[in-house]
Structure 1
Amino acid sequence: HEIKLHTHDQATAMVDQACDVLTTAFPDLWYLMQLYLRKKLYPLSEKSEEIDRTYMHKAPEFLALTKDIIQTFISVVRLNLLSRSTMTKSDTTSSQDDDLYTNADETYQRVKTLPHCVQNCRLCVLHLVSLDIQADFKKDLQQLMFDLRLECFIVIMDHACLEVSRLNTQETWELEYDEQLGSHTKLPNLFHDMIVTKTNIIQENVLSVNVAKGERKFFEDKEATKQAAIAVYRLLGDFASVFQMLIKDCSSSSSNSIEPLSSSTIMINSSEHLSKTMCLIIILNNFAYTRRFILPRLKKIFLNYGFRGMDRVYDETEIIYKRVDEQLLDTVQNEYLRPFLHRLESRMYAGRFDWATHIRVISVKDYVKHIILDLARVHAEIYSISSQLVFIVLSRILSTLVNELAKLYSNINQFSKAGSMQACLDLIALQECLGRCMETETSNKLKELITQIPDAAEHIKSKALTDMLNVFLKQMQPYSIAFRDVTQ
Structure 2
Amino acid sequence: MPAPAPVVTGISPKEGPPGTRVTIRGENFGNSPRDLIGLTICGCNCILSAEWITPNKIIARSGPGNGKGDIVVITRLGGVGGCTVQFRGYMETVGPLKESAVWVEEEISSWGRRALTTTAMQQQDPLGLSVEDSSKSLPDDQMNEYFPHPSSESLSSEDFLPARFLLKHHRGTSFDDLKAGLSHLQRKVGAHKEGQLSFLKANVGAVMDQLDTLCVLRDKFEMDALQVRMMPTISLEQSIEASRREADRLFKEVLNRRDNADAARNALSAMQRNKFLFMLPTSIEKNSMKGDYDLIVNDYTRAKSLFSDSDIDIFKKVFEEVDKRIDALIARLKTHLTTMPCTLDDQKKLARNLASLDGENNHAWNAIEARFKYLLESLTAPPEKQPENLLSPASNPPALGANAGNQNWQGELPSKVQVVEDSLEVFTFQFPELWKLGQAYFSGELQVEASPGHNRLFKDMVLKSIKTLCDLVKENLTVPSGTLTPKHKSSSKSSTDFGPWLPHCLTEMIILYNSLRGLDLPSEALAQVNSLIQDLRFHCLFVILKQTTDQVRMLYKQENWMPDLQSSTLPGRQSSGLVTSLPSLFEGKITEAVTLLKESIFVNIPGESSVNPILTNPTVHSQYGSLVQNIFHAFTQTLEHLSSSKEVQSASPMFLSQILTGSVPSSRSSSKKHPSENPLLLILSNCLHTRDVVLPSVMKTLSSLTGGQETPPLALAREAAVNSLSTLDRSICEKYLESKTDPLVGTIEPSMYIGEFDWAKLPEKSATQRGDLRPYIKEIIANLISVNCEVQNVLPSQCQRIQSYIVEMIAEEVSRLMSCIPNFNEEGVLQAHIDLTFLRKTLAPFSTPTARAFFNEAIEAIPPLENDKQKRLLEQVFIGIEARMRLQLLSLTSPSV
TM range (shorter): 0.7 to 0.9
**Superposition TM-score, scaled by structure 2 size:** 0.45
Alignment of 1:84-99 (within 5 A): none
The verdict on how the C-alpha distance between 1:73 and 1:370 changes in structure 2, with shifts beyond 3 A counting, is: same
Matched, 1:149 2:549: no
Partner of residue 630 from structure 2, selected from 234, 254, 257:
234
Letter in 1 for 2:466: I
Task: Determine the C-alpha separation between the residues in 1 that align with 2:867 and 2:829.
Answer: 8
Structure 1 spans left out of the alignment, 5+ residues: none
Note the C-alpha offset of 1:159. 2.2
Query: Identity of aligned pairs, percent?
Result: 21
Letter in 1 for 2:587: H
Letter in 1 for 2:598: Q
Partner of residue 720 from structure 2, selected from 316, 319, 329:
316
Letter in 1 for 2:415: Q
Q: Is the 8 A contact 1:423 1:453 kept in 2?
A: no
> Secondary structure of 2:499's match?
helix
Task: Determine the C-alpha separation between the residues in 2 that align with 1:26 and 1:40.
Answer: 18
Matched, 1:253 2:650: yes
Task: Determine the C-alpha separation between the residues in 2 that align with 1:246 and 1:149.
Answer: 35
Matched, 1:61 2:457: yes
The verdict on how the C-alpha distance between 1:297 and 1:458 changes in structure 2, with shifts beyond 3 A counting, is: farther
**Superposition TM-score, scaled by structure 1 size:** 0.79
> Secondary structure of 2:745's match?
helix
Task: Determine the C-alpha separation between the residues in 2 that align with 1:43 and 1:82.
Answer: 42
Q: Is the 8 A contact 1:285 1:386 kept in 2?
A: yes
The verdict on how the C-alpha distance between 1:428 and 1:107 changes in structure 2, with shifts beyond 3 A counting, is: farther
Q: Is the 8 A contact 2:648 2:679 kept in 1?
A: no
Task: Determine the C-alpha separation between the residues in 1 that align with 2:538 and 2:890.
Answer: 60
Q: Is the 8 A contact 1:110 1:155 kept in 2?
A: no
Q: Is the 8 A contact 2:480 2:535 kept in 1?
A: no
Structure 2 spans left out of the alignment, 5+ residues: 1-376, 384-411
The verdict on how the C-alpha distance between 1:386 and 1:458 changes in structure 2, with shifts beyond 3 A counting, is: farther
Task: Determine the C-alpha separation between the residues in 1 that align with 2:474 and 2:702.
Answer: 29
Note the C-alpha offset of 1:432. 1.3
Task: Determine the C-alpha separation between the residues in 2 that align with 1:311 and 1:295.
Answer: 12
Task: Determine the C-alpha separation between the residues in 2 that align with 1:114 and 1:310.
Answer: 24
> Secondary structure of 2:578's match?
strand
Letter in 1 for 2:641: M
Partner of residue 841 from structure 2, selected from 419, 423, 432:
432
Note the C-alpha offset of 1:424. 5.1
Q: Is the 8 A contact 2:774 2:835 kept in 1?
A: yes
Task: Determine the C-alpha separation between the residues in 2 that align with 1:41 and 1:75.
Answer: 34
Q: Is the 8 A contact 1:398 1:442 kept in 2?
A: no
Q: Is the 8 A contact 2:836 2:859 kept in 1?
A: no
The answer to which structure, 1 or 2, has the higher relative contact order (CA under 8 A, 6+ apart) is 1
Task: Determine the C-alpha separation between the residues in 2 that align with 1:445 and 1:393.
Answer: 19
Q: Is the 8 A contact 1:333 1:397 kept in 2?
A: yes
Structure 2 match to 1:189: 584
Task: Determine the C-alpha separation between the residues in 2 that align with 1:121 and 1:350.
Answer: 80
> Secondary structure of 2:551's match?
helix
Letter in 1 for 2:752: M
Alignment of 1:374-389 (within 5 A): 374-389=783-798
Letter in 2 for 1:124: L
Partner of residue 503 from structure 2, selected from 98, 109, 115:
115
CA RMSD of aligned residues (A): 4.3
Partner of residue 806 from structure 2, selected from 387, 394, 397:
397
Matched, 1:453 2:857: no
Note the C-alpha offset of 1:345. 1.3
Matched, 1:161 2:549: yes
Partner of residue 199 from structure 1, selected from 583, 589, 594:
594
Structure 2 match to 1:17: 422
Task: Determine the C-alpha separation between the residues in 2 that align with 1:34 and 1:288.
Answer: 66
| Greater Cα shift, 450-459 or 279-288 | 450-459
Cα-to-partner distance string for 1:114-152 (whole Å, 9 max, x where unaligned): 222111122223333555445454444322211111211
Matched, 1:343 2:747: yes
Structure 2 match to 1:327: 731
Note the C-alpha offset of 1:257. 5.6
Task: Determine the C-alpha separation between the residues in 1 that align with 2:804 and 2:380.
Answer: 68
Structure 2 match to 1:78: 474
Cα-to-partner distance string for 1:436-479 (whole Å, 9 max, x where unaligned): 123x3444433553575366799999545444433333332211
The verdict on how the C-alpha distance between 1:161 and 1:441 changes in structure 2, with shifts beyond 3 A counting, is: farther
**Number of positions where the alignment pairs a residue of Structure 1 with one of Structure 2:** 465
The verdict on how the C-alpha distance between 1:185 and 1:310 changes in structure 2, with shifts beyond 3 A counting, is: same
> Secondary structure of 1:207's match?
coil
Letter in 2 for 1:190: L
Task: Determine the C-alpha separation between the residues in 2 that align with 1:216 and 1:30.
Answer: 30
Q: Is the 8 A contact 1:82 1:148 kept in 2?
A: no
Q: Is the 8 A contact 2:598 2:705 kept in 1?
A: yes
Q: Is the 8 A contact 1:431 1:443 kept in 2?
A: no
Cα-to-partner distance string for 1:46-99 (whole Å, 9 max, x where unaligned): 98xxx8xx52x444434433332222222111111125999xx9999xx98xx9
Task: Determine the C-alpha separation between the residues in 2 that align with 1:221 and 1:372.
Answer: 62
| Greater Cα shift, 363-372 or 197-206 | 363-372
Q: Is the 8 A contact 2:514 2:606 kept in 1?
A: no
Letter in 2 for 1:113: W
Greater share of helix residues, 1 or 2?
1
Letter in 2 for 1:73: L
Task: Determine the C-alpha separation between the residues in 2 that align with 1:42 and 1:176.
Answer: 71
The verdict on how the C-alpha distance between 1:203 and 1:265 changes in structure 2, with shifts beyond 3 A counting, is: farther
Higher gyration radius (CA):
2
Task: Determine the C-alpha separation between the residues in 2 that align with 1:240 and 1:268.
Answer: 31
The verdict on how the C-alpha distance between 1:107 and 1:405 changes in structure 2, with shifts beyond 3 A counting, is: farther
Cα-to-partner distance string for 1:345-390 (whole Å, 9 max, x where unaligned): 1123334445567797955433222111111122222223342232
| Greater Cα shift, 448-457 or 289-298 | 448-457
Matched, 1:285 2:285: no
Cα-to-partner distance string for 1:277-306 (whole Å, 9 max, x where unaligned): 633333332333332322221111111232
Q: Is the 8 A contact 2:651 2:674 kept in 1?
A: no
Q: Is the 8 A contact 1:157 1:231 kept in 2?
A: yes
| Greater Cα shift, 153-162 or 172-181 | 172-181
Q: Is the 8 A contact 2:819 2:858 kept in 1?
A: no
Cα-to-partner distance string for 1:196-215 (whole Å, 9 max, x where unaligned): 22221121111222263468
Note the C-alpha offset of 1:194. 2.8
Letter in 2 for 1:402: A
> Secondary structure of 1:384's match?
helix
Task: Determine the C-alpha separation between the residues in 2 that align with 1:184 and 1:111.
Answer: 31
Task: Determine the C-alpha separation between the residues in 2 that align with 1:174 and 1:41.
Answer: 76
The verdict on how the C-alpha distance between 1:364 and 1:224 changes in structure 2, with shifts beyond 3 A counting, is: same
Q: Is the 8 A contact 2:815 2:855 kept in 1?
A: no
